[in-house]
Structure 1
Amino acid sequence: MPASPSTARAINDRLALSLLQQEGPLTAGQLKQLTGLSRPTVADLVDRLAVAGLITVVGESGEQRRGPNARLYGIVADRAHLAALDVRTGGVGVLVSDLVGRVLAEASVPIGGDTGTGPAVEQAVAAVERTLKRAGLAAAPPREGVRARGRLHTVGIGAPGLIDPASGDLRDSGGLPAWHRSLAAALQERLPGARVTVENETNLAALAEQREGVARDRDTFVLLWLGHGVGAAVVLDGTLRRGASGGTGEIGFLPVPGTPSLPSAWDCDGGFHSLAGSAAVCSLAAEHGLPVPAAPDGPAAAEVIRAAVAATAGEEARAKGRTADRAGGRAEARADAAPSGAAPPADRFLHALADRIAIGAASVVAVLDPGCVVLGGEVGQAGGPVLAGLVEERLRRMSPLLTEVRASTLGGTAVLRGALLTARDRAQDELFAPRDRN
């Protein structure tokens, strides 16, 4: 049965808006080419979307061209605004953008572990309000009868822990600050004109890697989050999988060899977290004689790994120099050369860390066969291609399933980017929803 004229118009409008979001400003001729629609149909939809306040002329195409055919149409960026939050155990990051994702203001606020729930929530909410003010936005909704352009439309929050699939709320999780669970409700109360949504941080990181990072060419992959804690996000056939209780990817609780106990329903100590969490990474580095920061959090573990990768690269360069000397008949003893057959401490540390990470990765690969594992979080980004290559080498020995291992290019920023992308999608779902635009 053919679509009704109104349904066809709605489909065409949404297609054009999606293209303008993905490609940026386009002429009517470019929209015609990309959509395959006729020239009159494109002209009609451009008029409808402009009257609805969703698109506007933002410039002209080409230096010499003038007239209607040269007009570039783009989404009205200030039709709505978005806020994204990355909620961590030690603070919160905030970002405010317009509807097309252009960042207008951002901030990061530390929140001490001994801060009570009420004061911690107040600090986080105040940080959002200050960031909105710097972006030129008011927290209050527009007055009745005033067009809603420029308002804060959606707030996307990324947080560690489980999200209840029925309510969308953050579930009570052992080891996480109580203020995390109170933040969404407090923001909704203080920002009554906005929609507030919460998503697991690792899921948001995977969304960002799929849309803007190293997994853009993959419909199926697993993101292994390596930071203060560990987690995984599963994308199958282009769709993020959350599981029956919202807990897909809680790999920190995976029982593994090499730990003194088993994890419990309230504590992931004894699970994969005890092998690859930031405290475990710093402890492993200390065992290999490497300097470690006093606070073993995600950024600290990342710094340890960056230093190890740099040291390994330096040693490889020196080794190549020694080989060149010997080839030229100028071999000589060097004080900084490691004993024959002994690897430098940084190299041994990276190999030992890759052994640990491969245990969790191999478990995921055996069950899901994703074809690609992305090492995300601060640690995954810090390890870069060096650590990814070591993990991939071990997976080839441990599993018959061919799996590529890639290092994140977004690292710790992926959660904020994913929260922003999710907020933008949800805002556009409402603003771009099919409606009568005759």
Structure 2
Amino acid sequence: MPASPSTARAINDRLALGLLQSEGPLTANQLKQLTGLSRPSVADLVERLQGSGLVAVVGEAGAQRRGPNARLYGIVADRAHLAALDVRTDSVSVVVTDLLGAVLAEASAPIGGDTATAVESALTLVEGTAREGGAQRLHTVGIGAPGLIDPATGDLHDTTSLPAWHRALAGALQERLGARVLVENETNLAARAEQRDGAARDRETFVLLWLGEGVGAAVVLDGVLRRGASGGTGEIGFLPVPGTGSLPSATGCEGGFHSLACAAALHALGAEHGLGAPGRSAADLVRHAVQAREDAFLDAVADRVAIGAAAMAAILDPGCVVLGGEVGRAGGTALAARVEQRVTAMSPLRTEVRASALGGSAVSRGALLAAMDAAQDDLFGPPPGC
């Protein structure tokens, strides 16, 4: 059944907006060539999009060309402003952007105190960063946070291992700012960013193994992020593994893979290899080991990381594991190659291991991508085929 005229117009408009987003400003003739639409149809859609305030003339193509066909049309980037938050146990980082993701302002601050004080501090940080970026109103806010997301409600699960202000922040932001607020697990957002802009750009199926203060994993199968029945897919810190001397429990991951590969465990491992240094983070320790060619330490780290990577490979056969987080980025190809060698020895399933291209910034980037996609779908309409 052919689409109605109104549906066809909506599809054409969304197609043109997608091209303007991905390609940048285009002339009417370029839109005609890229969309395959007739010249009158392109003229009509450009007029509609200008009338809606989504598209404007932003210049001309070629210094010698003049006239309507030379006008460059672009998306009005300040049509909406967005914010991305990377929420850690005791701090928040904020990035404010325009509709196309151009950074306007960013800031970070420690967050502490009781729930009310912590929430107010975070709200003040977001509001101040928005003002600095010239955003009078935020359209959508994306939040990346540790912890499980309830698949039914989109809320953070209540857990004693995380501060209470984490769960209160999203509602407070929505009430104070009137913005749409999206909350997602930090590792899932990191995987989204690595697939869009990082090490997994060519992969529809992969696992992101997050190595930072804690450990986690995100699972993408056939282009879809998998969450599980309770939102807990990828809680690899609880995976029972040899070499820890105990087993994890329902209330704590000590004794699981966390005890082998978290930041504290890598610090202890570094001390065993004579690499301990006051104030040096686990990522700094691994980065120093790569630069100084401390092969024995890197081999020991790879032995541990490979246990988690091989477990994911055996269960999911993802074909690719990305080592994310600050430690994964710091280890780079030197650590990734070592882990791949060990996974190959442990599993008959061919698994490529890659280093993160984004590292610790992946959470913030993933939160921004989530906010951008939601805001653009709201303003532009759903992409064709949705």
Structure 2 residue matching 1:181: 3-state secondary structure = helix
Displacement of 1:109: 0.4
Structure 2 distance, partners of 1:13, 1:205, is: 31
Which structure would you say has the larger Rg?
Answer: 1
Structure 2 residue matching 1:405: 3-state secondary structure = strand
Give the letter for the 1:52 counterpart.
S
Provide the residue aligned with 1:93 in structure 2.
Answer: 93
Structure 2 distance, partners of 1:180, 1:108, is: 16
Give the letter for the 1:159 counterpart.
A
Q: 1:291 is matched with which residue: 264, 273, 276?
A: 276
Structure 2 distance, partners of 1:255, 1:215, is: 27
Structure 2 residue matching 1:152: 3-state secondary structure = coil
Q: Does 1:311 align with 2:309?
A: no
Give the letter for the 1:62 counterpart.
G
Give the letter for the 1:74 counterpart.
G
Structure 2 residue matching 1:8: 3-state secondary structure = helix
Write out aligned runs for 1:348-359 (5 A): 348-359=296-307
Unaligned 5+ segments in structure 1 are 139-150, 313-345
Displacement of 1:384: 0.6
Structure 2 residue matching 1:363: 3-state secondary structure = helix
Q: Is the 8 A contact 1:209 1:216 kept in 2?
A: yes
Q: Does 1:415 align with 2:363?
A: yes
Displacement of 1:175: 2.0
Provide the residue aligned with 1:165 in structure 2.
Answer: 151
Provide the residue aligned with 2:330 in structure 1.
Answer: 382
After TM superposition, the runs of 4+ consecutive aligned structure 1 residues lying more than 3 A away are 292-295
Structure 2 residue matching 1:246: 3-state secondary structure = coil
Structure 1 distance, partners of 2:50, 2:205, is: 37
Provide the residue aligned with 2:123 in structure 1.
Answer: 125
Pairwise CA RMSD of aligned residues?
Answer: 1.3
Structure 2 distance, partners of 1:311, 1:42, is: 59
Deviation digits for residues 186-226 of structure 1 (CA, Å, limit 9, x no counterpart) = 1122112x111100001111111111111111111111111
Give the letter for the 2:366 counterpart.
G
Displacement of 1:294: 4.5
Q: How many residues align?
A: 382
Q: 2:173 is matched with which residue: 148, 171, 187?
A: 187
Provide the residue aligned with 1:406 in structure 2.
Answer: 354
* Percent identity over paired residues: 74
Q: 2:212 is matched with which residue: 215, 218, 227?
A: 227
Displacement of 1:291: 2.0
Provide the residue aligned with 2:34 in structure 1.
Answer: 34
Structure 1 distance, partners of 2:215, 2:60, is: 48
Moved more, 54-63 or 125-134: 54-63
Q: Is the 8 A contact 1:222 1:374 kept in 2?
A: yes
Structure 2 distance, partners of 1:212, 1:50, is: 30
Deviation digits for residues 117-173 of structure 1 (CA, Å, limit 9, x no counterpart) = 2211121111101101111223xxxxxxxxxxxx31001100000011111111122
Give the letter for the 1:165 counterpart.
P
Displacement of 1:292: 3.3
Structure 2 residue matching 1:424: 3-state secondary structure = helix
Displacement of 1:177: 1.6
Displacement of 1:281: 0.9
Q: Is the 8 A contact 1:88 1:160 kept in 2?
A: yes
Give the letter for the 1:209 counterpart.
E
Q: Is the 8 A contact 1:375 1:381 kept in 2?
A: yes
